[in-house]
């Protein structure tokens, strides 16, 4: 019983850590997507002026 509780707590802590990592990665991906859209917009504006 006690070993099971320790194992369960370990799994919960690991899940929380992984969720936090996933959230950080997702935020970084969203920031990169936004940056990419800005670059693409700037490039299309430059090519449109020619």
Tell me how long the chain is: 50
Residue ranges of the domains in the chain? 1-50
- Please give the distance of CA 30 from its chain centroid, rounded to a whole number: 7
Q: Where are the alpha helices (DSSP H) in the chain?
A: 2-48
Predicted model pTM:
0.69
Tokens of 43: 């490039």
Tens digit of each residue's pLDDT, the chain (50 residues): 999 999 999 999 999 999 999 999 999 999 999 999 999 999 998 887 65
Per-residue confidence (pLDDT) for residue 50, from 0 to 100: 52
């Amino acid at each position: 019983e006690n070993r099971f509780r320790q194992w369960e707590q370990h799994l919960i802590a690991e899940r929380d850590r992984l969720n936090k990592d996933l959230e950080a990665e997702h935020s970084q991906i969203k920031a990169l997507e936004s940056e990419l859209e800005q670059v693409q917009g700037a490039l299309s504006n430059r090519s449109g002026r020619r």
